[in-house]
Chain A
């Protein structure tokens, strides 16, 4: 056996090699293509290609009545669909000038925070998988399952939820749903603590993530970053605190920030956000007890579908049902921008309405799309293995990236 030459990191290479990372690569968790110029293990430059699952949602939305656009928003960030659904409902309610009863706001807050938890569970446990620790992932998935069972109890579906309606919820939360929420809080307190003790001070994990893909606050703001990855750089911008929607101003919670914006800081920020989400849900459950327990939608008969048995037995309900389904309801000619804090950052809905049954123009400000554009520039000079965990900690969701 003769010795094979071993290249070290500092050896000059005579030529760069091209690596097609994706479109379907097991390490990227989604349809992402990056054509990388590699100098050994190090990335010299990269070009991202996106759009593989572009489904023209903005165009489709121009031909659909408002309530049929909710299922489209499901398929943006499908790890936290309820936030997208409710962001859209609140946009339309803002356009129509509907104010929600407090109880509906609190119910929405519970669902949105549960969705944020599931999204962060997926992101952080997958980050563990990408650094070689599968254990955390297998444990955390059961908590996501617990949240999906709550969704199932409330709206009947799990992933693409289509939860809630314009004007409130389609039905009240039943006792089983509340029991499941309380039970989830109880088990997840234990589970998240366990997860943190597996990772936060784990030598291998910290060595693997600390100092990887550091981003300054200036660069992050110049690239219009939002969400946990922006907060990991030290900027405390959170839509829930800056422009409270759905009565977030009634809640007491903190916005965690990181120090240097590296993968480890993003991991810690997301973990802390899950604790804060649980805090919010606990407060919401307490607040709900003081509200009348039979209110689950606003009193807006012209926009909220009446119950089916009333449609058959009540003339007014039948008229409203017909008007809503046929799009005969007057809507104001106006433009509205509404932003919610999605799991990945500021999810904005820019809606131009001309008074018709469907939007004249609807634009989604998708945080994944805007966050991802820094990926290729920031990968320069990075090791390939670091670029992989950088991608999973950006938590780019292909559905939201490509719309």
Chain B
């Protein structure tokens, strides 16, 4: 089977979840869609089990932080349909004071550590996860270090400021 066209994917998703899916971009041919956390389990399991789409392979789960947005924390799923060789990216945005999202471990065993990593660095709480602990950082760490409020370097250091370079 050949690659599924992005238009077909959007149409199928829009028919199945009317008004719940918005296209976010198609950069470099990879379709990104956005949905809500209420729908995410349904969307993922539909993508996985639909007989034409068969996005049976979970490539990755990760997160991103946009401090200036109302919903700051984005959870990003990359799925891959090995039979049709199509990839899709699904995003859910959560507000920083309510970072709960249903787990994907019910669909893929491999989601376990990916979600633990996302929790470890961004503090996203995956409801229903069997063992949501920190994974790469030390257990007694209190912050979520990949969030943008934690600068990497000493914030008082000025020798690398942009205005020294005319910006």
Contacts and interface: CB of A to CB of B under 8 A. Distances in A.
Interface stretch (A105-113, A249-257, A365-373): A365-373
Nearest to B108: A222
A152 interface: no
B62 interface: yes
B150 to A, nearest CB: 8
B136 A94 contact: no
Contacts of B89: 335, 337
B152 A94 contact: no
Contacts of B27: 334-336
B4 interface: no
Interface string B73-85: 0001010001001
A237 B85 CA distance: 10
Contact of B136 (A54, A60, A374): A54
Nearest to B118: A363
Interface in B141-167: 145-146, 150, 152-153, 165
Given A243-B85, A402-B136, A373 B60 contact: no
Contacts of A315: none
Given A51-B137, A63-B152, A370-B113, A363 B25 contact: no
Interface in A385-403: 402-403
A54 B137 contact: yes
A49 to B, nearest CB: 9
A363 B89 CA distance: 14
A339 B76 CA distance: 16
Interface in B55-72: 56-60, 62, 64-65
Interface SS majority for chain B: mixed
B85 A63 contact: no
Given A59-B146, A336-B28, A50 B110 contact: no
Interface in B102-140: 108-110, 112-114, 117, 121, 134-138
A352 interface: yes
B123 to A, nearest CB: 15
Contacts of A339: 59
A374 B108 CA distance: 12
Contact of A403 (B56, B136, B145): B136
A365 B59 contact: yes
Given A334-B28, A336-B28, A369 B113 contact: yes
B135 A224 contact: no
Nearest to B27: A334
Contacts of A242: 82, 85
Contact of A350 (B76, B82, B137): B76
A373 B76 CA distance: 20
A337 B91 CA distance: 14
A137 to B, nearest CB: 31
A328 B165 CA distance: 9
Contact of A222 (B76, B109, B134): B109
B5 interface: no
Interface in A338-377: 339, 346, 348, 350, 352, 360-361, 363, 365, 369-370, 373-374, 377
B59 A346 contact: yes
B87 A224 contact: no
Contacts of A153: none
B30 interface: yes
A198 interface: no
B62 A363 contact: yes
A132 B87 CA distance: 43
A221 interface: yes
A237 B84 CA distance: 12
A361 B64 CA distance: 7
A348 B59 contact: yes
B146 A50 contact: no
Contact of A373 (B25, B57, B113): B113
Contacts of B59: 224, 339, 346, 348, 365
Given A54-B137, A60-B152, A337-B30, A224 B108 contact: yes
Given A54-B136, A326-B165, 4 more contacts: A337-B78, A348-B78, A369-B113, A374-B110
Q: A-B pairs with the 6 shortest C-beta distances?
A: A224-B110, A51-B136, A373-B113, A54-B136, A223-B110, A363-B62
Interface of A: 50-51, 54, 56, 58-60, 62-63, 94, 219, 221-225, 235, 237, 242-243, 326, 328, 334-337, 339, 346, 348, 350, 352, 360-361, 363, 365, 369-370, 373-374, 377, 402-403
15 contacts: A58-B146, A63-B153, A222-B108, A222-B109, A224-B59, A224-B108, A334-B25, A336-B27, A337-B30, A346-B59, A361-B64, A361-B65, A365-B78, A373-B113, A377-B109
